[in-house]
A and B are shown apart, each in its own frame.
Chain A
Amino acid sequence: MLDNLISGLGIIFHWEHILAIVVGSSLGLVVGAIPGLTATMAVALILPMTFDMDFVTSIMLLVGAYKGGIFGGSITAILLNTPGTPASAATVLDGYTLTKQGKGVKALKMAKYSSTLADFCSDLVLIAVAAPLATVALKFGPPEIAMLIAFSLTIVAGVAGKSIIKGLIAGTLGLLLATVGLDPIMTTRRLSFNIVELDSGISLIPLLIGLFALSEVLFQLGKKSETYDDQFVIKHSTHPADNRVSWIEFKRSLRTIIRGTAIGTGIGIIPGIGTGIASFMSYAQAKRASKTPEKFGRGSLEGIAASESGNSAVVGATFIPLLTMGIPGDIITAVIMGAFMIQGFIPGPLLFQDHSQIIYAIFIGFIICDIVYFIIGTIAMKYAAYLSKVPRGVLFPIVLVFCVVGSYAIQHSLFDIGIMVFFGIVGFFMIKFGFATAPLLIAFILSPIGEAALRQSLLMSGGSLMIFVTRPIALGFLSLTLISIFGIMRSHRKRQGVY
């Protein structure tokens, strides 16, 4: 492996490749940072441009956009409560609260440090153990995935906000919405009223933009500016302590970052799970393990560290099932896989055997991406301070325009704009009535994977539920689920007892 790495270094350090990394990361960062536009859009738009390029250049352009896009999405999540990708949806929980307290820059910096560190570690894992880990991933069949999803659904409790019951209702709504479309086994139309655009289900990105971004725009529309200061949404405190992350603060969050990295890497390795869940799972686990769980959701730096490390670690790790088994975790990785294939690099174990130098060159490129977006992010953040001078009346109409553009651009579909508007209204009412929107998103993302896995498992076992108990990994996750539910009920009762 060492000689592959050395050859890889030689391949990656060419000016076109480095330029591709810088351009890709910057583009991704800027697009992701604009509320309403997403990393998905950036990558999908860049892809056709890469067909005539050299392989490494094209991959670095796309991966740079991917990584930059996720980080950019976090910027807008923190400053405007409008996540740029599903991965950043957990960051709004604490990030936006900190911004309202004037500590937006502190939140951004914590996000930057956690993201880069986690990304870096996960890329190292990718380099070191990609091929052997693939055989572990092959063992994950439908029963294992079904139980993992069951466990993941319990994290809804961690992000439900004040009322668990309302969180469960939101989650159930998410499960229900995910059934719209063709069912995964029999392809029967469900809840789609014969509208062909709904056959593939409700599109995730328009739903995300509507539920989080548009709802916030609508909410802001309803607010009156009582004082001159009210019209500035992004508060910017000039107190120096509010604009940096001190070493002590960082150290306190270090364990969270490590845990988030581990969780993100673990989730990324499992084929077909995708990046949306990692940040929430990391957040929920951090909350459980924290000494100050009541701070989560109220502007806790640990919360940001958790969600950001989770969503960044998953990016590198998700290339393991992608390259070794050809299973993409989400749209972006599917697009990148297409870029691999059209250049003749077919995912599979032989990819590492036949083209190891180029693959390792790309992995090293991942690490360079991390460094680049750290630098670009630092520069970008200087401009974030200027945003605080933009009055609400100007800022949010611009956000609204981008929401519409971002929803249309994914599938060139006017219908998706309708979805975005619909969920903007839904989100608005959810906020008004005290429902957390995160559980809906989590359940919506997890449900299709979980339902398919559950039904595939039952098909495999001939209808017997024992399949979840006889297979060791599945049994492991089932136990984790039960422990998790038990733990949540106990802490809930404890909280009730105190009052």
Chain B
Amino acid sequence: MTFRKKGIMVLVSAFILAVFGLFTGINALAADYPAKSVTMYIPFAAGGSMDSSSRVLAAGAEKVLGQPFVMINKTGGGGTVALGVLAGEKPDGYILSAGTSTGIFRIPVQRKVPYKPLADFTHIFAYAAVSSGVVVKPDAPWQTWQEFVDYAKQNPAKVKYSTAGAGSPMHVAMEVAGAKEGIKWIHVPYKGSMPSLTAVMGGHVEACSSGPKFVSMVQQGQLRVLAVHTKERMVEFPDVPTFMELGYNYLNDTFFSVHGPAGMDPAVVKKLEDAFAKSVDTAEFKDMAKKFALQPLQIGSAEYTKILEDGWPKQVKIFVDLGRVKEAATQPR
């Protein structure tokens, strides 16, 4: 065969192969998804509630999708490092990240992050809500929230409360309540939930505005809960009022969720939504949620995206009103 003929044959074969390759590429996107294992980043350290809950969620989803999830802890920045990495990945559905709504519409308002929270992601699914509330020592003199507020009013700058960190919903809640009631109380931030709770148990502060860990401690009699920050009254504490009921227009809207880079195929997103929804329904998930005091949710992509987009201007307003920022530190789009 002459060189020329050989050359043309090679060219034609290459062309045919390339066309086939293209087709398989397109097919792999939706109908065969997932054709290989899916990687999911976990933005918090091993052993915590986000780490454990996302692993259980993934384990349930694996059974539905038929492919394994590879879970990788990528910690740092309160969850922003993993999201930052995710923003730059391909939206083929094989790289996802767990995350919190805090990483989308709270942290970026307070400080600059390397991603555009509303534009850079496909928000896929919200699978749990965290509960939070205000607790005091069991032998404290205040039986109700109102008694506590009255005491704080009569003793300005004397009441100290601890939280797991400044800028968190628990901190903001107390500041909002304080502003509404005209109380000046002192915020003592700690690093993490447990230290903030032991601070109130040890009598170093009068109250703690705490995340979910308080639930088991109240049930064990180590703390008393005066008010909660959830949307509705908590099943575990039916007599305890919510902040919304008490007239403070604030609730803790921290969701645990799964995100992907912007521009994912809607068919792939739907598959993931279904898989996660089924995973939340399993006994293992409900069991884990109970252990970590999380409330299981099944909020799909469209609804969750709306929550985040509506929430953005609200969060900006809250932090501007509290004086923490003059404007949002990161542009959402």
Q: Is the CB of B47 within 8 A of A337?
A: yes
The interface residues of chain B lying within 8 Å CB-to-CB of A350 are 220, 222
Q: Mark B190-207, 1 if CB is under 8 A from A, else 0.
A: 111011011101111100
User: Is A456 engaged at the interface, CB distance under 8 Å to the other chain?
Assistant: yes
Tell me if A196 and B113 are in contact (CB < 8 A): yes
Give chain B nearest CB distance to A282 CB in angstroms: 25
B160 contacts partner chain A, Cβ-Cβ < 8 Å: yes
- Contact segment of B181-189, B233-241, B256-264: B181-189
Could you say which of B75, B110, B188 contacts A411, with CB atoms under 8 Å apart? B75
**Contacting pair B195 A139 (CB below 8 A):** no
Residue of B77, B197, B198 touching A196 (CB-CB under 8 A): B77
B77 touches A344 (CB 8 A): no
Complex partner residue of B47 from A141, A200, A335, A456, CB under 8 angstroms: A335
Flag if B77 contacts A199 (CB, 8 Å). Answer: yes
Given the known inter-chain contacts A138-B201, A187-B110, A335-B45, please indicate yes or no for A456 contacting B188, CB distance below 8 A. yes
How far is the CB of B113 from the nearest CB of chain A, in Å? Answer: 6
A492 contacts partner chain B, Cβ-Cβ < 8 Å: no
B-side contacts of A199, CB under 8 Å: 76-78, 80-81, 111
> Contacts of A326 on B, CB cut-off 8 Å?
194, 197-198, 213
> Is B77's CB under 8 angstroms from A200's CB?
yes
Assembly CA distance A469 to B112 (angstroms)? 40
A-B contact count (CB 8 A): 129
Q: B80's closest neighbor in chain A, by CB?
A: A196
Let me know if B72 is at the binding interface, CB within 8 A.
yes
| A331, B76: Cα distance in complex, Å | 13
Contact A196 B81 (CB under 8 A): yes
Bound form: Cα–Cα A456–B46 in Å: 27
Point out the residue from A189, A348, A452 that lies within 8 Å of B220, measured CB to CB: A348
Interface-located stretch among A43-51, A66-74, A108-116, A211-219 = A43-51
Does A184 reach chain B (CB closer than 8 Å)? yes
Whole-angstrom distance between the Cβ of B292 and the nearest chain A Cβ: 7
Q: Is A230 an interface residue, CB under 8 A from the partner?
A: no
Q: Mark B37-65, 1 if CB is under 8 A from A, else 0.
A: 00000000111100110010000000000
Measured between beta carbons, the chain B residues less than 8 angstroms from A196 are: 76-77, 80-81, 84, 113-114
Which of chain A's residues have a CB closer than 8 A to the CB of B187? 459
Give chain A residues whose Cβ lies under 8 Å from the Cβ of B217.
348
B68: Cβ under 8 A from any A Cβ:
no
Query: Which residue of A is nearest B162, CB measured?
Result: A456
Among B195, B197, B204, the residue within 8 A (CB) of A460 is B204
In the complex, the chain B residue whose C-beta lies closest to that of A471 is: B204
Which residue of A51, A139, A184 contacts B191 across the interface (Cβ within 8 Å)? A184
B318 at interface, CB cutoff 8 A: no
Chain A 390-419, CB-CB to B under 8 Å as 1, else 0, gives: 000000000000000000000111000000
Chain A's interface size range is 35 or more
A335–B45 Cα distance when bound, in Å, is 8
Q: Are B73 and A141 in contact (CB under 8 A)?
A: no
A271 close to chain B: CB less than 8 A: yes
CB distance from B208 to the nearest CB of A (A): 13
Inter-chain contact A462/B222, CB cutoff 8 Å: no
User: What separation, in Å, do the CA atoms of A44 and B188 have in the docked complex?
Assistant: 31
Q: Given the complex of chains A and B, what is the CA–CA distance between A350 and B222 in angstroms? A: 9
Known interface pairs A184-B189, A335-B46. Does A348 touch B114 (Cβ–Cβ under 8 Å)? Answer: no
CB-defined interface of B147-172 with A at 8 Å, one 1/0 digit per residue?
00000000001001000011100000
CB contact under 8 A between A271 and B195, given known A48-B55, A185-B166: yes
Partner of A189, one of B45, B81, B111, B194: B111
Our pick among A47, A141, A186, A272 for the contact of B202 (Cβ within 8 Å) is A141
Report the minimum CB–CB distance from A369 to chain B (whole Å): 20
B160 (CB) vs chain A CBs: closest residue: A460
Which chain A residues (124-167) contact chain B, with CB distance < 8 Å?
138-142
> What residue of chain A has the Cβ atom nearest to residue B201's Cβ?
A138
The answer to whether B188 and A460 touch across the interface, beta carbons within 8 angstroms, is yes
Rounded to whole Å, the gap between the CB of A30 and the closest CB of chain B is 20
Q: Once bound together, how far apart are the Cα atoms of A342 and B291, in whole Å? A: 7
Least CB separation from A333: chain B residue: B47
CB distance from A450 to the nearest CB of B (A): 13
A412: contacting residue among B51, B73, B199, B202, CB under 8 A: B73
Sample of 16 further A-B pairs with CB below 8 A, known A412-B72, A459-B186, A460-B160: A141-B204, A142-B188, A142-B199, A142-B204, A185-B189, A186-B166, A187-B165, A271-B198, A328-B194, A334-B45, A342-B288, A346-B291, A412-B73, A452-B191, A460-B186, A462-B186
